[in-house]
């Protein structure tokens, strides 16, 4: 087999990369239909029912009591998002260490993906006031989602050389947004055709089955990368050890944690990424809740806006990927973070009950969303020591694809104290400012060389 990043026969390379792209197509249904649109309002409404608020009640101030704790019903979903990330801190780096040492990665990808998809499909049983069941299934699905992406991302250095990774990563993100957008469009048709004005229970049922559809989409299209991706032999230090993969994975993770100081610049970049991506993921995870609870927008308006985000993100990821070939990936990411600040400031001032301004804001998000994420992924791939892709992407994934925790926690706490979603959204400015400053301070070329890799022509 070819070594990581080396040239493969054109047909083989094209087929394998296409298979890799299709996992973004598969799992983006969860990001879009579940995380971004339906689950926040659905689980919040379920918690409000459990708090004693009749279905359809506006401005519910009731409390729920999970495991003896007393929390605002409106804070339940942000807190569950935060808890899921706290748990991923322990799960994802171990998953990455196991992936680096496993002779075959595809079974790991299959196991995590099908577990997450199964938990998503099981949301069909979240009816009435079963908010705890919904929260538990979300925890399983979100952690499995992250674990699968760790394995998926670890293929990137083996599919493309240093000068191709920005392009390959951007294409994966772009196809993901397209796939997620197509399923969401189908769900929009279902909402429009099947909803009945004044029948809130019917609306909840439709939302539940839309969530289930994302789990089915995720499972079915995962079969394509499992078919077309090739198994690559372990490289570097992790490729020379024999023994139990799981126990060796824990041992290797411990060794990596002890030797992280050998790559301080990689860790500096990772810190910057964890901070600014925390802001990005909080916007993605809580946008629907903000739109429905604070701006009093309908479910149809939220879905149309997310569709705008999805399809513009498809073009935005490709456009920012092309821009990175001219000015470098880091400068392009910094530009996108400046645009994120504009988005957050505009969100604070959005008028309630006005769909058009919210949709225009969605257009702005779409332009910068895909590129900022895709280029961060490819830039980080340059900073990983050979043979440790899974481990390092495990740390990376802790704050990726809707699994950040500081942002949702801050958002939930501010709502708990002020009952204001606007103050919650504006608080996210700090993540983009601090993360952007830290990213600007990272000497990227020196960091790539220190990791033992060859820098691309432009950074």
CB 19 within 8 Å of CB 152: no
Q: Which residue has the higher pLDDT, 235 or 2?
A: 235
90 and 184, same domain (yes or no): yes
Q: pLDDT tens digits for 169-179? A: 888 888 998 99
Neighbours of 21 (CB within 10 A): 24
Domain count, the chain: 2
Answer yes or no: is 9 within a domain. no
Q: What is the mean pLDDT of the chain?
A: 84
Q: Judge whether residue 403 has pLDDT over 50.
A: no
227 and 248, same domain (yes or no): no
Answer yes or no: is 52 within a domain. yes
Phi, psi of 385 (to 5 degrees): -60, 145
pLDDT-based confidence at residue 261 (cuts at 50, 70, 90):
confident
Q: Which domain holds residue 30?
A: 15-232
| Burial tier of 348 (Cβ tally within 10 Å: 0-12, 13-18, 19+) | middle
Q: Judge whether residue 5 has pLDDT over 50.
A: no
Give the helix/strand (H/E) hosting 64.
strand 63-64
Q: What is the pLDDT of residue 165?
A: 87
Q: What is the CATH number of the domain that holds 317?
A: 1.20.1250.20
Q: What is the pLDDT of residue 253?
A: 61
Residue 376 to residue 166: CA distance in whole angstroms: 9
Answer yes or no: is 1 within a domain. no
How far apart, in Å, are the Cα atoms of 269 and each of 160, 392, 399?
21, 12, 13
| Residues, the chain | 459
DSSP-derived secondary structure for 278-301: HHHHHHHHHHHHIIIIIS---HHH
Q: Judge whether residue 78 has pLDDT over 60.
A: yes
**393-403: average pLDDT:** 65
Q: Judge whether residue 223 has pLDDT over 50.
A: yes
393 and 440, same domain (yes or no): yes
Answer yes or no: is 338 within a domain. yes
182 and 267, same domain (yes or no): no
156 and 271, same domain (yes or no): no
Q: pLDDT tens digits for 130-164? A: 999 999 999 999 999 989 999 998 898 888 888 88
84 and 49, same domain (yes or no): yes
Q: Which residue has the higher pLDDT, 76 or 161?
A: 76
**260-273: average pLDDT:** 86
Q: What is the pLDDT of residue 53?
A: 84
Task: Quote the percentage of the chain above a pLDDT of 70.
Answer: 89
Q: What is the pLDDT of residue 412?
A: 79
Q: Picking from 189-193, 225-229, 334-338, which range would have the lowest pLDDT averaged per residue?
A: 189-193
378 and 315, same domain (yes or no): yes
Q: Domain boundary residue among 189, 205, 232? A: 232
Neighbours of 392 (CB within 10 A): 28
Q: Which residue has the higher pLDDT, 61 or 176?
A: 176
Q: Domain boundary residue among 209, 232, 255? A: 232
Can you give the pTM of this predicted structure?
0.78
Q: Judge whether residue 257 has pLDDT over 60.
A: yes
How far the first Cα of the chain sits from its last, in Å, is 29
Task: Quote the percentage of the chain above a pLDDT of 90.
Answer: 32
Q: What is the pLDDT of residue 368?
A: 87
């Amino acid at each position: 087999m070819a070594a990581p990043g080396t040239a493969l026969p054109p047909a083989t390379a094209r087929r394998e990369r296409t298979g890799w792209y299709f996992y973004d197509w598969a799992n983006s249904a969860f990001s879009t239909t579940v995380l971004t649109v339906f689950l926040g309002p659905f689980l919040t409404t379920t918690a409000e029912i459990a708090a004693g608020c009749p279905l359809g009640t506006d401005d519910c101030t009731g409390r729920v009591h999970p495991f003896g704790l007393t929390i605002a019903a409106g804070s339940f979903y942000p807190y569950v998002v935060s808890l899921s990330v706290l748990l991923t801190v322990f799960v994802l780096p171990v998953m990455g260490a196991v992936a680096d040492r496993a002779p075959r990665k595809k079974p790991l990808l299959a196991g995590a993906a099908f577990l997450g998809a199964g938990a998503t499909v099981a949301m069909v049983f979240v009816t009435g006031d079963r908010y705890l069941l919904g929260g538990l299934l979300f925890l399983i699905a979100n952690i499995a989602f992250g674990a699968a992406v760790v394995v998926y991302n670890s293929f990137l250095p083996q599919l493309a050389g240093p000068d191709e990774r920005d392009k390959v990563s951007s294409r994966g993100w772009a196809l993901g947004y397209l796939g997620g957008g197509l399923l969401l469009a189908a769900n929009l048709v279902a909402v429009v055709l099947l909803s009945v004005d004044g029948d809130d229970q019917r609306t909840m049922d439709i939302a539940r089955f839309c969530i289930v559809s994302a789990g089915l989409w995720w499972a079915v299209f995962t079969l394509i990368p499992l078919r077309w991706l090739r198994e690559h032999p372990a490289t570097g230090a992790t490729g020379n050890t024999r023994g139990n993969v799981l126990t060796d994975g824990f041992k290797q993770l411990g060794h990596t944690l002890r030797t992280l100081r050998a790559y301080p610049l990689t860790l500096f970049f990772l810190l910057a990424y964890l901070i600014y991506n925390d802001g990005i993921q909080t916007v993605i995870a809580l946008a629907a809740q903000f739109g429905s609870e604070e701006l009093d927008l309908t479910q149809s308006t939220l879905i149309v806006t997310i569709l705008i985000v999805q399809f513009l993100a498809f073009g935005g990821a490709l456009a920012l990927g092309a821009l990175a070939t001219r000015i470098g990936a880091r400068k392009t990411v910094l530009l996108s973070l400046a645009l994120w600040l504009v988005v957050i400031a505009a969100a604070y001032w959005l008028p309630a009950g006005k769909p058009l301004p919210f949709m225009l804001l969605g257009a702005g998000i779409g332009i910068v969303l895909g590129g900022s994420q895709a280029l961060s992924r490819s830039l980080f791939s340059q900073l990983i020591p050979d043979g440790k892709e899974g481990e390092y992407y495990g740390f990376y994934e802790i704050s990726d694809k809707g699994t950040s925790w500081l942002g949702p926690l801050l958002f939930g706490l501010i709502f708990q104290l002020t009952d204001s979603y606007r103050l919650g959204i504006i608080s996210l400015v700090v993540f983009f400012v601090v993360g952007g400053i830290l990213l600007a301070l990272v000497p990227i070329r020196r960091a790539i060389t220190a990791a033992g890799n060859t820098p691309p022509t432009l950074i």
